[in-house]
Amino acid sequence: MTRIVVFPGQGSQTVGMGAELFRAFPQEVAFADAILGYSLEELCLKDPQQRLHKTEFTQPALFVVNALAYLQAVEREGSRPDFALGHSLGEYNALFAAGAFDFITGLRLVQRRGQLMGRADGGTMAAVVGLSPARIEDCLREVAPGEVDIASFNSPEQTVISGAAGAFERLESALESAGARQVVRLRVSAAFHSRYMRAAESEFATFLSQFEFSPLDFPVVSNVHAMPYAEQGLHECLAGQISRPVRWTESIQWLARQPMPVFEELGASKFLTPLIQSTLRRSADA
């Protein structure tokens, strides 16, 4: 059996997440509060100022909840997984799990990432259901050339697009005419994983250069390459991940070829589990 842990990213946050974890790991929560300058438990459990869905708050909150869920799983299982991967922000949890950096360093990284990504505005994103990525790319070229990119290949049935808000109304009509069952706008403040994030990527690359990372204890599959991280590739991939698409479907397909793969989602929700199941079903039918 090949044990694979996966971590969700932005969009999986919910008010109330982490309640049992905060009680189980008070020292880590205290460290997080000191670094962030606010009560993470109050943000996640009550969100009195309506900030949990703002990127600069969402990303640190999810990192901490996902990280504590992993620590709890290790305590429960008594062993580490064989592979890890995470969706966008969740990739930081996969790297934390594999020992690339400690909890505090990981939190500092995602805090800065969330600040830079949260500063961008003016774009939007949508999930397209029931249309192949190739046909979606055709529509982007025909209707919104240079305005909208594919942000995430989530499963054979779901692809996320990202770009200029002004292009989406005409693009939605084109996608539906091409056969999309649904085009669902996402509640985001900017066009993540698109060309519009390159300034944030550049600034984050400079920030990343201050850090040295440890060799991984087990392989982590990269969003950028859909393959395990190369020994020297962490800085480049983590910076490039901000503007490049998440190759989730290919990552799951690669892992599905391992001996008797078993996927376990850890963190704020089971956001990724249906996507993984969809990809595995399609691969089995192929």
Tell me which of 152, 193, 194, 251 is the catalytic residue: 193
For the chain, the distance separating the N- and C-terminal CA atoms, rounded to the nearest angstrom, is: 23
Are the CB atoms for 64 and 18 separated by under 8 Å?
Answer: yes
DSSP code of 86?
Answer: E
- List, as own/partner pairs, every contact residues 74-79 make where C-beta atoms lie below 8 angstroms and the sequence separation is at least 24, other chains included: none
Centroid of chain to Cα 87: 3
| 53 catalytically annotated | no
DSSP code of 92?
Answer: H
| 88 catalytically annotated | yes
Integer angstrom CA distances of residue 90 from 24, 83, 139, 197, 210: 21, 14, 29, 18, 21
| Pick from 200, 16, 214: nearest CA to 113 | 200
- Cα-trace Rg, the chain: 18
* Structure tokens given for 106: 């990981």
Tell me which of 88, 155, 162, 243 is the catalytic residue: 88
Annotated active-site positions, please? 88, 193
